Chain A
Amino acid sequence: MTNTNVFKEPSFANRAQSPEPNKCRRIRAYLYRIVNSSLGLDTGWAQKHIANCPRCQSRIVGISKVELALSLVKSQRHDLDLLMRANAQAIGVLKHGLRQTPKAEKLKSTLPEPTLSERFSKYKHSAANVAACLAILLLMKIGIFSSMDKFQSRSQEVLKQYYARHIGQDLADEIFPA
Chain B
Amino acid sequence: MFDKALGYGLVWDVTVSDTIDESQQWILSAMQKHGQGLVTMLWRILGNEQDVCDAYQSTFLHLAHCQSGQKPQHVKAYVFRTASNVAVSMLRRRLVERKGLSAAIAGRSSGKAVSSGDAVQDVFPSPANEFDSKYLQDILRCYITRLPEHLRDVITLHDLAELPYEQVGKILSISAATARVYRCKAIQLLSAWMSKER
Interface residues of A, Cβ cutoff 8 Å to B: 58-59, 61-63, 65-66, 68-70, 72-74, 76, 78-79, 82-83, 85-87, 89-98, 101, 103-104, 107, 110, 112-113
Contact = CB atoms under 8 A, between A and B. Distances in A.
Nearest to A104: B28
B180 interface: no
11 contacts: A63-B191, A69-B137, A73-B47, A74-B160, A78-B39, A83-B35, A93-B60, A97-B21, A98-B20, A103-B29, A112-B39
4 pairs of A and B residues whose beta carbons are closest in the complex? A62-B191, A62-B195, A69-B140, A86-B56
Given A69-B139, A76-B137, A98-B24, A86 B44 contact: no
A83 B36 contact: yes
A98 B194 contact: no
Interface of B: 17-18, 20-21, 24-25, 27-29, 31-32, 35-36, 39, 43-44, 47, 49, 52-54, 56-57, 59-61, 64, 131, 133, 136-137, 139-141, 159-160, 162, 187-188, 190-192, 194-195
Contact of B39 (A72, A74, A83, A103): A83
Contact of B136 (A69, A74, A94, A113): A69
Contact of B140 (A70, A78, A103, A113): A70
B56 A93 contact: no
B198 to A, nearest CB: 11
Contacts of B18: 97
A73 B134 CA distance: 9
Contact of A93 (B47, B61, B188): B61
Nearest to B36: A112
A69 B186 CA distance: 14
Interface residues of A: mostly helix, strand, loop or mixed?
Answer: helix
A39 to B, nearest CB: 17
B91 to A, nearest CB: 12
A94 B64 contact: yes
Contact of A107 (B35, B191, B194): B35
Contact of B43 (A70, A78, A90): A78
B106 to A, nearest CB: 26
Contacts of B187: 63, 66
B160 to A, nearest CB: 7
B152 to A, nearest CB: 14
Contacts of B43: 76, 78, 82
A104 B131 CA distance: 43
Contacts of A97: 17-18, 20-21, 24
Contact of A65 (B54, B136, B162): B136
